[in-house]
């Protein structure tokens, strides 16, 4: 497996990758996804030969904050250390950044994964997170009464 910086993007491959993991909010807006990649701080790809099998995409300024926006791998390549290698490479490229942040699903699997590489839940640090999603891409679930 080779990790290298992505400076050009094949939108069809990205859409296949996002669809393969069920991230359809991105794939419903391919122009937004293309612009997001073009304006990212750093994107790395994991390659099996010449085939892109995983990516990590960061945004931020690289000094005070790096936000890990996306980290994903095709399902047949998951649980093989690709995510860990991609994440560690980002950590190595920004060793002195003040804050490295990410938002993820609150499941035992994802929490354990990020804790295993040194991340701490924001509430464990006395912090909380807020976000506002565009209604164009996201419809919040209806809360039962």
Give the domain CATH number at 102: 3.40.630.30
Strands 2-5 and 51-60: unpaired
Q: What pLDDT is recorded for position 143?
A: 62
Range of the domain at 79: 2-125
Q: How many domains are contained in the chain?
A: 1
| Domain assignment of residue 140, yes or no | no
Tens of pLDDT, residue by residue, the chain (145 residues): 899 999 888 999 999 999 999 888 888 888 989 999 999 999 999 999 999 999 999 999 999 999 999 999 999 999 899 999 999 999 999 999 999 999 888 888 888 989 998 999 988 989 988 888 776 666 666 666 5
| Domain assignment of residue 130, yes or no | no
R_g of the chain, CA atoms, integer Å: 16
**Cβ within 8 Å of residue 117, ≥6 positions away:** 84, 87, 88, 91
- Please tell me whether residue 96 adopts helix, strand or coil conformation: coil
| Domain assignment of residue 95, yes or no | yes
Count of C-beta atoms within a 10 Å radius of residue 96: 6
| Domain assignment of residue 22, yes or no | yes
Nearest residue to 18 (alpha-carbon basis) of 70, 77, 76, 68: 70
Say if residues 103 and 69 touch (Cβ distance below 8 Å).
no
Residue 101's DSSP bridge partners are 67
| The token pair that represents 16 in the structure block | 């296949």
Q: Taking the model in full, what pTM does it have? A: 0.85
- Please tell me whether residue 25 adopts helix, strand or coil conformation: helix
For 58, 60, 62, 138, 142, the CA distances from 68, given in Å and listed in that order, are 5, 9, 11, 20, 28
| Domain assignment of residue 107, yes or no | yes
Q: What pLDDT is recorded for position 74?
A: 94
């Amino acid at each position: 497996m080779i990790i290298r910086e992505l400076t050009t993007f094949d939108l069809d491959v990205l859409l296949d990758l996002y669809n393969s993991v069920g991230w359809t909010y991105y794939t419903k807006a391919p122009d937004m996804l293309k612009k997001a990649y073009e304006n990212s701080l750093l994107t790395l790809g994991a390659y099996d030969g010449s085939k892109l099998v995983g990516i990590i995409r960061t945004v931020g300024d690289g000094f005070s904050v790096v936000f890990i926006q996306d980290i994903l791998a095709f399902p047949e390549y998951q649980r093989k250390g690709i995510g860990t290698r991609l994440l560690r490479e980002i950590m190595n490229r920004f060793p002195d950044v003040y804050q490295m942040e990410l938002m993820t699903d609150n499941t035992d699997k994802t929490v354990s994964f990020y804790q295993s590489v040194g991340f701490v839940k924001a509430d464990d640090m006395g912090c909380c997170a807020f976000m506002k999603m565009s209604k164009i891409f996201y419809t919040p679930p209806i809360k039962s009464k």
